Amino acid sequence: MAEQEKNQRLGTLSALGACFIWGVLPLYWQLLAAASAYEILAQRMIWSFVFMLAALAFLRRGERFLADCRELWANKRRGGLLLAASVIISLNWFTYIWAVNHGHVLDTSIGYYINPLMSVLLGVVVFHEHLTPAKKISIALASVGIAVMAWQMGKLPWIAVVLAVSFSVYGAVKKKLQLDPFSSITLETLLMLPLAIWYLVQLSAAGGSHFGGSSLMLTLCLFGTGVVTASPLILFSYGANLLPLNVLGFFQYIGPTMGFLLGVFYFREPFSGMQLLAFAFVWAAVLLFTLSDRFAIFQEKQPSDAAELVKQSRQ
């Protein structure tokens, strides 16, 4: 029992640490505002790969990593899934960085609020999982929230939609891939490495690179993108192995909640009554979704494996 309590405590601290880092990331990207989203993404890919190599060596997972590489090389279908995951997560990262540095922190918040609901919907479509009445209502409420945002903005809230769809699709691909998260993250960044290096070489030749320039702080922050990217993924993966999925599912709302608070009170983004109404629908969807898993309300007898997809989307 003591060992179990210790594991739960470590798992909780790890998962909370990951969610806290994700929650304060808008503050970190703001430090990089002088660089373009393309440059930040390229630097993020390179230094994330370097950090993951160091993590593999420190955790002595090198043999597992090489075995996964050999298996993926032999299995072209799984290799294709890995490439798809790499492209999708790159799109997600770019959208998030661009949004934060262009005054759309609130849009990123709502995107990550509805991401678990999108994951559940994909679980039904791709994995033929069962959708309970409570989850059907949750998805409907979130859809109303998106519709209210679209009406208020006069256009589709594309940042929230792209973030939610890309991350949930990424989770679905990872579930199909069934690859060790450490190997997966390392290889996903490795696949994007040639493009990232090419872009940075071109940018440097044109005199537009901010890495190693006059600002030491900016250079260090660009270097640190690898740490702030990979460390929460490692922490969350560790927590996922030690905690029940319903607890893990609840924790994932910490990040977007912190993003919402930062958007309103720190970045001072406009927050109208219509936006509050949109968020209210999304919050109601999230609350119902969380309670339906935690307390089994509105549940039918058939079980759903959707929570596993939510877990995979963070690995």
* C-beta separation of 113 from 282 below 8 A: yes
Is residue 119 very low, low, confident or very high in pLDDT (cuts 50, 70, 90)? confident
pLDDT of residue 246: 62
The arithmetic mean of pLDDT across residues 22-32, rounded, is 95
- Phi first, then psi: give them for residue 289, nearest 5 degrees: -60, -45
The arithmetic mean of pLDDT across residues 225-240, rounded, is 87
Is residue 39 very low, low, confident or very high in pLDDT (cuts 50, 70, 90)? very high
* C-beta separation of 78 from 71 below 8 A: yes
The arithmetic mean of pLDDT across residues 99-106, rounded, is 94
The arithmetic mean of pLDDT across residues 162-185, rounded, is 88
CA distance 221 to 160: 26
More confident residue, 150 or 79: 79
More confident residue, 192 or 309: 192
* C-beta separation of 115 from 168 below 8 A: yes
Question: Could you tell me the two tokens for 65?
Answer: 């990593």
The arithmetic mean of pLDDT across residues 163-180, rounded, is 87
CA distance 315 to 301: 29
Q: What pLDDT, in 10s, does the model give residues 44-96? A: 999 999 999 999 999 899 999 999 999 999 999 999 999 999 999 999 999 99
pLDDT of residue 159: 94
